[in-house]
Structure 1
Amino acid sequence: MTADGMMADPMAGESQGPTPEQSRETRTRVARWIERTPVRRWVPDPGIAPLPAGSDVFLKLELFQRTGSYKVRGALNNVLRADAETLQRGVTAVSAGNHAISVAYAARAAGTTARVVMLSSANPARVARCRNFGAEIEFADDGASGFARMEEIARQEGRLGIHPFEGEATVFGTSTVGLEIAEQLPDLDAIVVPIGGGGLISGTASVVKQLAPACRVYGVEPVGADSMRRSLDAGEPVALDRIDTIADSLGAPHAAPYSFGLVQRYVDDVVLVDDDAIRAALKALFLDAKLVAEPASAAPLAAACGPLRERLEGRRVGLILSGSNIDLDTFAVHFRAAG
């Protein structure tokens, strides 16, 4: 880390990741089945959302994406890059919800079948939406057993395993978020991105840093699911012993080499926020921006009003709101808990 808290040598690591041209090619491939999500300038009541002084904040509304989250971009790119013989055998995935929904949607779009492994703690609304897209669902007690079962299904049935955050096809898909925001807001000073396993931020940062090298890219994780922060501190991908956060979409059990390498190369810092800060941000987005966000989507706002506040003062800032797959009862619980 440098003296101002930035990561030393932003060009470390072996992989360059997707270039802007490769991201454009990916966007052409998936464009028929996704939305170019809007950006919205947001000037909230400071009593509701105490944004950094003098900042100009824009929301990248991936929560309006088909399937309700950005995950569909990577899922579609995996499926649409596969050959016909592979697709005939179907696809499989593991997920707490958003990735499973997106893989089910992508499989239907490509005319194939999906068998997905969801965590037993998955939000019921996400399970129902995944089934509505035609997926066959199994359940696992935790992330480690879920990944093991996905790999077993892929091996036994010859299905294409679609990783939720790792690998070129997934990251090239998420890079289209970075491409869009760089085109929509070419003069941003900083972008704040939620991190689960690192698929969204690695793709986004790869393209943003190549198109706008001066733009800072910050990642944010929950305190109870900080695999990327721990991996960066250790200098290699690490796994967590347990996950403890309301932001279940950010509860990846480990970091992985490809996306971790891109985070090392392109991301300026990764900060942590606790669940109380996430709840407060979720409430602020609802009260002032009139948005129903899942906790993962609220994490960038929590970071902007918390650990990144001083660094973002007087800056043009983009916050990526990653998804909105949450049922009303769970949302109400978090809303009331915010006080």
Structure 2
Amino acid sequence: MLSPTPLLLDHALSDRFGRRVLFKCELFQRTGSFKARGGLYWVRTASRAELAGGLGAVSAGNHALGLAWAARKAGVPVTIVMPENASRFKVTGSRELGAEVILHGDINDAWALMHQLVEERGLTLVHPYDNERIIAGQGTVGLEILEQAPKASVIVCPVGGGGLISGIGVVTAAMRPELALVGVEPSGAASMAHAWASGAPAPLAQVATCAKSLAAAVVGDYTYPLCLANTQELASVGEGAIRRAMTHLIYQTKLLAEPGAAVGVAALLENAVELPPRGDIVVVITGGNMSGEELGEFLN
């Protein structure tokens, strides 16, 4: 079972904006990010046939941790292919949860190998974001925000492949349509903005960002239309802004959030998004899985 994560008041940003800025602290979730929600929901709703041959996934790390944990709870083997530059903290954590982790090339190479393993081993592929059940699981973040922040006027959400913002958007559109939903991407991996501009999911020619958890080269066939329909604004922030947001989170809010979790805070600090004039501002802090070496880059 998973417990709700808390909302934390950021005093410095609240003073700056003259109203409450609340952080939805998914870094406190099981396995250190919101990804455990989708992983658990997918496994809990899987058929025997889907589980019989074991599971397979491609991940930069947080989906690997969440799915490995959920699969271990169900006694199901899971194979994860990660790019060679994946966080060693997340690689080790996934292996400790019982997953077979294979490091292979870049993210495109990792996907190619996983498709090969699905054919050879009979694995069931569990996509990190472009799956209706994964999206539904991530949507529970939105349900909790609606319960915890009845005066919220906007949710600011990091965007990688789009699973989290899609799930939150489905919930808010149905239950509180007046609530604005704003997505924020790293400028070096703005795959959702690229899809919006292209009129369909289309791979980026290059991905380069310190926010590795958001480094999806292409958004999903499910997440693209859901995000387009339910997101009022999509912004991007650069590497410097992400680093300044990391500094704010560490020293002002005392949160050890990973770079991908900091982009929403970066957007506020840089005034990169349009906000409703009144109401609480909720920012989703998506995860906090970093090694000491990775954290050291931002402490210095």
TM-score tier (shorter): over 0.9
Residues 40-64 of structure 1, C-alpha deviations (whole Å, 9 max, x = no match): 12212xxxx5975323100100000
Q: Secondary structure at the match of 1:297?
A: helix
Moved more, 209-218 or 310-319: 310-319
Quick check: 2:151–2:279 contact (8 Å CA) kept in 1? no
Quick check: 1:205–1:267 contact (8 Å CA) kept in 2? yes
Quick check: 1:104–1:134 contact (8 Å CA) kept in 2? yes
Query: Aligned partners of 1:84 and 1:162: how far apart in 2?
Result: 15
Q: Which amino acid aligns with 1:75?
A: G
- Structure 1 residue 84: deviation in Å? 2.2
Matching of residue 182 in structure 1 with residue 146 in structure 2: yes
Matching of residue 316 in structure 1 with residue 284 in structure 2: no
Query: Aligned partners of 1:278 and 1:101: how far apart in 2?
Result: 23
Q: TM-score, normalised by structure 2?
A: 0.96
Picking from 50, 58, 63, the partner of 1:99 is 63
Please list, as runs of the form range in 1=range in 2, the aligned pairs for 1:165-180 lying within 5 A after superposition: 165-180=129-144
Q: Which amino acid aligns with 2:55?
A: V
Quick check: 1:51–1:304 contact (8 Å CA) kept in 2? no
Quick check: 2:153–2:278 contact (8 Å CA) kept in 1? no
Residues 106-157 of structure 1, C-alpha deviations (whole Å, 9 max, x = no match): 1101111011101100111111100100111111211112122222222221
Q: TM-score, normalised by structure 1?
A: 0.85
Matching of residue 216 in structure 1 with residue 180 in structure 2: yes
Moved more, 79-88 or 105-114: 79-88
Query: Aligned partners of 2:274 and 2:80: how far apart in 1?
Result: 42
Quick check: 1:304–1:312 contact (8 Å CA) kept in 2? no
Quick check: 1:271–1:307 contact (8 Å CA) kept in 2? no
Matching of residue 35 in structure 1 with residue 11 in structure 2: no
Q: Which amino acid aligns with 2:249?
A: L
Identity of aligned residues (%): 36
Q: Which amino acid aligns with 1:94?
A: V
Kindly report the root-mean-square deviation, in angstroms, between the aligned alpha carbons of the 2 structures.
1.5
Q: Which amino acid aligns with 2:49?
A: E
Picking from 224, 229, 249, the partner of 1:260 is 224
Count of matched residue pairs? 300
Query: Aligned partners of 2:173 and 2:34: how far apart in 1?
Result: 19
Query: Aligned partners of 1:333 and 1:40: how far apart in 2?
Result: 25
Q: Which amino acid aligns with 1:88?
A: A
Q: Which amino acid aligns with 1:333?
A: E
Q: Which amino acid aligns with 1:59?
A: F
Residues 297-321 of structure 1, C-alpha deviations (whole Å, 9 max, x = no match): 1111001122445535544100000
Query: Aligned partners of 1:303 and 1:209: how far apart in 2?
Result: 23
Q: Secondary structure at the match of 1:146?
A: helix
CA 1:313–1:335 in 2, change beyond 3 Å: closer, same or farther? Answer: farther
Query: Aligned partners of 2:221 and 2:282: how far apart in 1?
Result: 27
In structure 2, runs of 5+ residues without a counterpart are none
Picking from 197, 200, 208, the partner of 1:233 is 197
Quick check: 1:55–1:313 contact (8 Å CA) kept in 2? no
- Structure 1 residue 328: deviation in Å? 1.5
Residues 200-229 of structure 1, C-alpha deviations (whole Å, 9 max, x = no match): 100011101221111110000001000101
In structure 1, runs of 5+ residues without a counterpart are 1-31
Q: Secondary structure at the match of 2:93?
A: helix
Query: Aligned partners of 1:275 and 1:225: how far apart in 2?
Result: 11
CA 1:50–1:80 in 2, change beyond 3 Å: closer, same or farther? Answer: closer
Picking from 294, 297, 322, the partner of 2:261 is 297
Moved more, 152-161 or 200-209: 152-161
Q: Which amino acid aligns with 1:294?
A: E
Query: Aligned partners of 1:283 and 1:229: how far apart in 2?
Result: 26
Residues 270-312 of structure 1, C-alpha deviations (whole Å, 9 max, x = no match): 1000011111111111111111010011111001122445535
Quick check: 1:75–1:99 contact (8 Å CA) kept in 2? yes
Quick check: 1:38–1:60 contact (8 Å CA) kept in 2? yes
Matching of residue 149 in structure 1 with residue 113 in structure 2: yes
